Amino acid sequence: MSDRVLVIGGKGTTGQRVVRRLEATGAKVAIGTRRPTDPRDRSFDWADPASVAAFDGCSAAYVVAPTDRTDHLDVMRPLLEGAMACGVRRFVLLSSSLLERGGPMMGAVHDWLAGTAPEWAVLRPSWFMQNFSEGPHARTIREEDAIYSATGKARVGFIDAEDIAAAAVACLTSSEPLNDDRILTGPEALSYEDAAGILSEVTGRTIRHVALSTRHMALRFEEQGLPPDYAGILAGLDETIGTGVEDRTTDGVAQLTGNAPRSFQAFATGNVTSWQP
């Protein structure tokens, strides 16, 4: 469908996988990044109006919001409007399972795209399995045999970023636009204690889940370098998970890709080297 696809955040957790899968289909790809180093790279920063040039020659875009602020619609709308003026017709937004259309952060962008973009899709995945292997939990598993959260014993439908990327590519390349959102989960809902048990099994070590208060979780995020307001929102999402709202699974991945999502057991087995001390 697309002449060229711009993958914003194309070197991030989902973006790099979207790029690889798009190129495997033969699609032409441009990568939007703050630090261009590759011939495919185009300079892109949501706060820089000149970044609209990254959309030149593209008819579709994979859209990832900035992680250093929360007023997503205010900062993203000018460049999204510029993208449409450049000829981009299809937008696939990475949002979150907890963010409803019209809600905060990406929820506001979701609502705007649905009312403005010619063709659109919003992917709302649950928490990434890669948070354990590449994200904030990886270091504490390696160094402390511990996972920290403010979710209590609540369960989450953890999803592999590969499945998110596969869903994104399906939405970007299908002959007909989705013009809808999809909540994406893995095949089972697990608590962090359950995840720690599986990680203990595959690593041969005892991995424990340390339950924190929302306030202490926010402080941990700040220590990792996140702005206080964003750290507070992420910790608040943990608290929301603790109410049980993420204790669900969906068939969203299968609907979009035709394949079942990967299990946490398979993910952990395939990434065991990530947790070697």
User: Tens digit of pLDDT for each residue in 222-268?
Assistant: 998 888 988 998 899 899 999 999 999 999 999 999 999 999 999 99
Is 62 within 8 Å of 168 (Cβ atoms)? Answer: yes
Average pLDDT, the chain: 96
pLDDT over 60 (residue 18): yes
Would you state the pLDDT for residue 226? 87
**pLDDT tens digits along 131-159:** 999 988 999 999 999 999 999 999 999 99
**pLDDT tens digits along 71-126:** 999 999 999 999 999 999 999 999 999 999 999 999 999 999 999 999 999 999 99
- Report helix angle 214-223 to 228-241, nearest 10: 140
- CA proximity to 178, closest of 235, 256, 111: 256
Would you state the pLDDT for residue 69? 84
Would you state the pLDDT for residue 1? 44
> From the CB of residue 210, how many other CB atoms can be counted at a distance below 10 Å?
13
Would you state the pLDDT for residue 3? 82
Q: Please tell me the distance from the alpha carbon of residue 107 to that of residue 134, in angstroms, as a whole number.
A: 25
Q: Please tell me the distance from the alpha carbon of residue 28 to that of residue 58, in angstroms, as a whole number.
A: 9
Which has the minimum average pLDDT: 135-144, 160-169, 174-183, 222-231? 222-231
- Which residues on neighbouring strands pair with residue 7, listed in sequence order? 31, 62
The yes or no reply on domain 5-126+160-183+249-261 and CATH 1.10.357.10 is no
SS3 for 208? strand
Q: Please tell me the distance from the alpha carbon of residue 78 to that of residue 116, in angstroms, as a whole number.
A: 13
CB-side neighbour CA atoms (13 Å) of 32: 27
> From the CB of residue 156, how many other CB atoms can be counted at a distance below 10 Å?
26
- CA proximity to 240, closest of 149, 128, 151, 124: 151
Q: What are 101's two structure tokens?
A: 């259309």
Q: Please tell me the distance from the alpha carbon of residue 85 to that of residue 76, in angstroms, as a whole number.
A: 14
Element (H, E) at 167: helix 161-173
Band of residue 67 on the pLDDT scale cut at 50, 70, 90: confident
Would you state the pLDDT for residue 203? 98
Would you state the pLDDT for residue 70? 86
Band of residue 277 on the pLDDT scale cut at 50, 70, 90: confident
Q: Please tell me the distance from the alpha carbon of residue 242 to that of residue 119, in angstroms, as a whole number.
A: 35
Percent of the chain at pLDDT exceeding 70: 99
pTM of the model: 0.94
Q: Please tell me the distance from the alpha carbon of residue 8 to that of residue 55, in angstroms, as a whole number.
A: 10
Summarize the confidence of residues 174-188 as an average pLDDT. Answer: 98
The DSSP result for 69-96, as a single string, is -S-HHHHHHHHHHHHHHHT--EEEEE--
